[in-house]
Amino acid sequence: MKILGTGSAIPRKVVTNDMLSEFLDTSDAWIVPRTGIHSRHVITDEQLEDLGTKAALNALEMSGLSVADIDYFICSNVVGEYVTPSLSCVIASKIGLTCPCVDINCACPGFIYALDIAESRYLAGKSKNILIVCAEEPTRMCDWSDRSTAVLFGDGAGAVVLGEGNNIKGVELHSQPDVQKIWEKRVLEKTPYISKEEENVPLQMRGREVFKFAVNASTRDVESLLSSLGMTKDDVNYYMVHQANMRIIEAIKQYLGERDEKFPTNIGDHGNSSSASCPILLDECNRKGLFKKGDVLVFSAFGAGLLSGVAVLEW
């Protein structure tokens, strides 16, 4: 497939590190060197589905396709206000889409998992034009009195419209299932038959272990896919790495032995927006005119699961 259009939408509210230190025992001086995050966009009175809808409409407008041309819609989302119907159905109802809608929950690498599903359907002859929306509100998953997680995340939505083409050169997905590294639990409705003890547990993370997983998974995935495609790092123009943490990105850059200019980033004013981070970064770079025809973009993302994925695209 080929990316025909990109879009994104972010909440209005900007929360700086200094604003966090008004109610958390933290500081700009602690957060910036460890994460690269200066501020993040946080959902207030917006609905996540409205951000997803706006991102989708922006991508559709750029693609030149109409809603009626889209024959499959994938939404990547970890958590939203609706349990059912799926977020893809909620967004579809707002933009008048009537094609099949599916949600995936693959945490931060969700965009790459969605690209894989899209490309597989296209190659199977089942779909021609596919919409992907990654819409996430991880700030609603954290305990805002826990400084070890609350400072890391931001909300937003990113979207792409894919159509006919031969520009997705390859996708590789990996899992290393481990529930204890990043997790959150919700209590469901009570029934007369439930006797087990249950409690809501906000997002928990073993930061240092996740850091190591992220750097190892990303460098392994990138090198493995490039090699199976018969490409080298010299062929790559840009690495579009999941914006989780500037130190993770710096470590990946160092292990790959690559130059700063190949790594566009927006972590500084977005924080980690889970699966929305790659398509938001893509849209921002695209609208700035960063990419030229023929450029090779490598997407790499990693997160809860533990899951990771990499995709090579020609622009």
Structure tokens at 187: 């209590």
Shortest distance, CB of residue 307 to ligand COA, whole angstroms? Answer: 10
Q: Which is nearer to ligand COA, 91 or 217 (CB)?
A: 217
Angle, helices 28-35 vs 246-256, to 10°: value is 30
Task: Give the whole-angstrom CA distance, residue 110 versus residue 122.
Answer: 18
Q: Which is nearer to ligand COA, 120 or 175 (CB)?
A: 175
One-letter amino acid of 34: R
Residue in 106, 142, 167, 242 annotated catalytic: 242
One-letter amino acid of 267: I
17: helix, strand or coil: helix
Shortest distance, CB of residue 80 to ligand COA, whole angstroms? Answer: 18
> Which stretches of the chain bind ligand COA, using CB under 6 A?
26, 30-31, 34-35, 108, 147-148, 151, 205, 207-208, 210-211, 214, 244-245, 247-248, 272, 302-303
Q: Which is nearer to ligand COA, 12 or 212 (CB)?
A: 212
Q: Which is nearer to ligand COA, 58 or 245 (CB)?
A: 245
Q: Which is nearer to ligand COA, 154 or 163 (CB)?
A: 154
Task: Give the whole-angstrom CA distance, residue 12 versus residue 7.
Answer: 16
DSSP per position, 172-197: EEEE---TTSEEEE------TT--S-
Residue in 272, 278, 285, 286 annotated catalytic: 272
Interstrand relation of 156-163 and 130-136 (parallel, antiparallel or unpaired): antiparallel
**41 counts as catalytic:** no
Phi/psi at 112 (5° precision): -75, -40
Residue number, nearest CB to ligand COA: 207
**272 counts as catalytic:** yes
Q: Which is nearer to ligand COA, 122 or 153 (CB)?
A: 153
Closest Cα partner for 235 from 178, 315, 171?
Answer: 315
Shortest distance, CB of residue 182 to ligand COA, whole angstroms? Answer: 7
Shortest distance, CB of residue 155 to ligand COA, whole angstroms? Answer: 15
- Which of 14-39 are b and which e, b meaning 16 or more Cβ less than 10 Å from the residue's Cβ? ebebeebbeebebebeebeeebbbbb
In three-state form (DSSP H/G/I as H, E/B as E, the rest C), the secondary structure along 199-234 is CCEEEEECHHHHHHHHHHHHHHHHHHHHHHCCCCHH
Residue in 108, 134, 142, 285 annotated catalytic: 108
Shortest distance, CB of residue 150 to ligand COA, whole angstroms? Answer: 8
Shortest distance, CB of residue 234 to ligand COA, whole angstroms? Answer: 28
**108 counts as catalytic:** yes
Q: Which residues are catalytic?
A: 108, 242, 272
